[in-house]
Amino acid sequence: MKFIHIADFHFDSPFVNLSDKEGLGELCRLAQRKVFKKVIDYIKENNIETLFISGDLYEQTYIRKTTIEYINNLFKEIPNTQIYIAPGNHDPYIKNSYYNKFKWNENVKIFKGNIEKVETPEADIYGYGFEDFYCNNSGIEELQIQNKEKANILIIHGDLDSSMTAEKQYNPMSRKMLEEKGFDYIALGHIHKPSYETNIVYPGSAFPLGFDELGSRGMIQGEIEDNKLKVKYIELNEIYFVEKQIDVTEVLSKEELVEKINEIEIQEKELAKISLIGRRNFEIDIYELYKLISNQKVIKIKDKTKINYDLEKIAKETTLKGLYTKELTEMLRQEQNEKEKQIIEKAIEIGLETLE
């Protein structure tokens, strides 16, 4: 049997923390749709028999009915492909979820909170779906494969080898326990980084959700034949999030910094976060930079610079500037909170510029 395995699309995610630029969320949501269409087109072109979706297909809090209809209409384009969905912690099978109240196409099977087995000519497929936003115990430890003469597949959303004592749990499972079950393939979701070195597979997030998801995003194509598993990773990216750095130590003005940001080379499908590093020679106002830069592919700027002053030397001066610096540097030494330290550093910088 041939199959595609995807997870963690997070349709209709608001992307609110991604950038301060307007319209970026809509751009990402359109790209999500394009990526999902790629998956369906690949299935059609390659006569794939089965599609596994291991949870977090959408965001329960934000999902729109029009998006569900878009997804289901694409499912209708592959009527000969059986689709198995195991809801996760972002799209649990709850009373008001679209898994429960929407009429899905007949080739769609959605698993609920009790482990269920679906028998097909090619394989026995076991599945479990979240029925809440958290899950302490899916019952997977008690599961026993019933027919080892066939291929056996498990589709489930969960956190592999995570702490069993964490306050918020997302179906913690032991890799060792899963290996002992004897499944030919375990289709996992939840972890956004791809992992497919064994038959316990996270395809990763099919669409990157932010700058903590750099690099390739995609899906797994698998085949089980004569009890042998073959898998390959297929990239799907329509957007790549990338990080660039600018050292501002030798930058002497706001205008020069704007020029450097505009000159950064960013590829066609890339959206960039710029980290400013080094020692700054002037106050940096991030929100003013957003207004001035013309490079539309720069969607986030992070100021990681330090002020370019010899504070110890200034603090020894018998001037108002020296007294001000001495008082604030002492506060800086005593402060433990990193955010508060940044505020004090900014106060020192603004004060020294004012007292020049």
Model pLDDT for residues 259-285, shown as the tens digit of each residue: 999 999 999 999 999 999 999 888 899
Confidence at residue 160, expressed as pLDDT on a 0 to 100 scale: 93
Q: Who wins on pLDDT, 333 or 129? A: 129
Answer yes or no: do 314 and 299 share one domain.
no
Q: What one-character-per-residue DSSP string does 251-263 give?
A: --SHHHHHHHHHH
Helix (H) or strand (E) holding 193: none
| In the predicted structure, residue 22 carries a pLDDT above the cut 80 | no
The C-alpha atoms of residue 193 and residue 215 are separated, in whole angstroms, by: 10
Answer yes or no: do 23 and 168 share one domain.
yes
The DSSP bridge pattern shows strands 218-225 and 2-6 to be: antiparallel
Answer yes or no: do 144 and 278 share one domain.
no
Q: What is the mean pLDDT of residues 158-176?
A: 84
Mean pLDDT of the chain: 93
Burial of 212 (0-12, 13-18, 19+ CB in 10 A): exposed
Tokens 């898998």 label which residue?
Answer: 231
Answer yes or no: do 160 and 199 share one domain.
yes
| In the predicted structure, residue 356 carries a pLDDT above the cut 90 | no
| In the predicted structure, residue 72 carries a pLDDT above the cut 80 | yes
| In the predicted structure, residue 163 carries a pLDDT above the cut 80 | no
For residue 298, the enclosing domain spans: 239-308
Q: Which of 235, 252, 272 corresponds to the end of one domain?
A: 235
Confidence at residue 167, expressed as pLDDT on a 0 to 100 scale: 65
Residue type, 140: I
- Positive/negative CA dihedral, 243, 6, 63, 131: negative
Answer yes or no: do 251 and 231 share one domain.
no
Q: Which of 177, 211, 235 corresponds to the end of one domain?
A: 235
Confidence at residue 75, expressed as pLDDT on a 0 to 100 scale: 98
The four Cα atoms 15, 35, 234, 188 give a dihedral, to 10 degrees, of 60
Q: Which of 205, 235, 265 corresponds to the end of one domain?
A: 235
Answer yes or no: do 142 and 31 share one domain.
yes
Answer yes or no: do 132 and 105 share one domain.
yes
Confidence at residue 336, expressed as pLDDT on a 0 to 100 scale: 87
Answer yes or no: do 86 and 156 share one domain.
yes
Q: What one-character-per-residue DSSP string does 287-352 give?
A: HHHHHH---TTEEEEEE--EE-S-HHHHHTSSSHHHHHHHHHHHHHHH---HHHHHHHHHHHHHHH
**Total residues belonging to the chain:** 356
Answer yes or no: do 214 and 252 share one domain.
no
Domain count along the chain: 3
248 touches 276 (CB < 8 A): yes
Answer yes or no: do 222 and 184 share one domain.
yes
Answer yes or no: do 41 and 184 share one domain.
yes
CATH of the domain at 148: 3.60.21.10
Confidence at residue 165, expressed as pLDDT on a 0 to 100 scale: 59
Model pLDDT for residues 76-85, shown as the tens digit of each residue: 999 999 999 9
pTM: 0.86
Burial of 52 (0-12, 13-18, 19+ CB in 10 A): buried
Confidence at residue 17, expressed as pLDDT on a 0 to 100 scale: 76
Confidence at residue 139, expressed as pLDDT on a 0 to 100 scale: 94
